[in-house]
Amino acid sequence: MTYLKIIVTLTTLVFLASCGDNSENWSCQTSGKSMYSISTSGELGSADKGCSCNQIRAFELEQFGEVDEVALKADFRC
């Protein structure tokens, strides 16, 4: 029974250690004709990581004069 307690304890500790808050916060950025996201650690990513569908729509409308709803749905699930 002692081995079982040790295994359960170790498994629990490993599980809890892996559940730390590793989530990144992403913000929406625009620069000229580019839209992208940047994390709190400085990592760059695609627009959908930090930009809302409304922000992406507004950006497309401003940059291109129209919004391609089919592409928006396919690319960003908006």
Q: pLDDT tens-digit profile of 27-71?
A: 999 999 999 999 999 999 999 999 999 999 999 999 999 999 999
CB-based contacts of 77, cutoff 8 Å, min separation 6: 48
Q: Distance between CA 17 and CA 5 in Å, rounded? A: 18
pLDDT value, residue 23: 80
Given a cut of 50, is residue 77 above it in pLDDT? yes
Residue 14 or residue 64, greater confidence: 64
Given a cut of 90, is residue 14 above it in pLDDT? no
How far CA 43 is from CA of 23, 25, 51, in Å, comes to 12, 10, 15
pLDDT value, residue 7: 37
State the pTM of this model.
0.66
Residues 50, 37 contacting (CB under 8 angstroms): yes
